[in-house]
Amino acid sequence: MEYSYPFSPDWSTTEIIDVVRFFEGVEQAYEKGIKREDMLARYRRFKEIVPSQAEEKTVFREFEEVSGYVSYKVVKLTKEQEDGNLIKM
């Protein structure tokens, strides 16, 4: 993809990498599918870095503007599914 991922200058290098991994999971959900367990683990780590719901919405919106992928829909589907399922948008 030819876009940059949203991040905060306050995050450590490890945190930036983990947030990028989360957004790569969102991309996978749209493009080929991702295991629910993998997506859920990535989202849980994302929430450790971005605990505020307001900040989460802001970061999700920034990512959607540059990529066209709606992170909220992926997270919602991930929470609704059972283990073993493939998350595919």
Beta-ladder partners of 86: 35
Distances (CA, A) of 87 to 8, 16, 31, 50, 56: 27, 23, 10, 22, 20
The average pLDDT across 57-66 equals 95
| pLDDT, position 16 | 94
CATH homologous superfamily of 13-81 equals BH2638-like (1.10.220.80)
pLDDT in the model for residue 1: 56
Domain ranges of the chain: 13-81
- pLDDT for 82 equals 87
CA distance 42 to 37: 9
pTM beyond cutoff 0.95: no
pLDDT at 46: 97
pLDDT of residue 50: 95
- What are the structure tokens assigned to 16, written together? 């930036």
The letter for the amino acid at 15 is E
Q: What is the mean pLDDT of residues 35-57?
A: 96
